[in-house]
A = this chain, B = another copy of it.
């Protein structure tokens, strides 16, 4: 699934950092230039937040499309967690991320047989095609259309 593109502005990087991850290299370009990063870059938790936003937006649009086509849709359920999240390169101010998700497994939950579990490999790459973040996620889906 192509979850679209997001350009990450300096303003947005600093706003997220002020609220949730106030380390110098996420707050100030000047401080970041003196750090190992070499320039203002986003909190890794900001990158994951941008990914989930793109994922939700994708499914809201896709659910509407399927509903309109008369195809049953299930609600999105809770996520039990993720595996092996890697921040492979910094996300710098002005970078445009391409966000993606690929379903790699689906099965019935053993503990909750009224739920399915989808496993997906999720990622973000920058405008140069360099991967900046990836993780394997799982989500519960109730096995009845809404």
Chain A interface residues toward B at CB < 8 A: 19-23, 35-37, 43-45, 48-50, 52-53, 56-57, 60, 75-88, 90, 142
Contact = CB atoms under 8 A, between A and B. Distances in A.
A23 B90 CA distance: 28
A75 B34 CA distance: 12
A23 B79 contact: no
Contact of A82 (B57, B60, B85): B85
Contacts of A49: 19-21, 45, 49
* Copy total for this chain: 2
A24 to B, nearest CB: 9
Contacts of A43: 52
B81 A83 contact: no
A75 B25 CA distance: 11
